[in-house]
Amino acid sequence: MLVQINGASYLVTANHVLEDHANLQYFNTDGVPVELQGDFHVAKTHDVAVLRLSDEQKQATAKYPILTENDFRPARYAQNRQYAAIVGFPATASKYLRKERC
């Protein structure tokens, strides 16, 4: 998921995606796959990984929809606060389902 907060753009994904895939890629503006560079900030207990996108990465992903803080925070939190809500499957649930299906 691409998110923009206070003018900065971020890629937010599940931490288990990083653990399961060594070389993540995205498609640049020419449609060529490019290895994703940068340091993810990881919260393993919440299975979340966040990467602040470089200017080059922002340009390359500009064709994709991006969420702003106004898209996912209640209006009552709009003044001088940062608020984020991320919906997904917890790592334990995902791993449990994968094992169950095998």
Res. 83: pLDDT tops 50: yes
Residue 37, CB-side half-sphere exposure with 13 Å CA sphere = 9
pLDDT interval class at 62 (50, 70, 90): confident
Res. 12: pLDDT tops 50: yes
The pLDDT assigned to 53 comes to 93
Cα-based angle 28, 55, 87 (whole degrees, multiple of 5): 75
The pLDDT assigned to 81 comes to 62
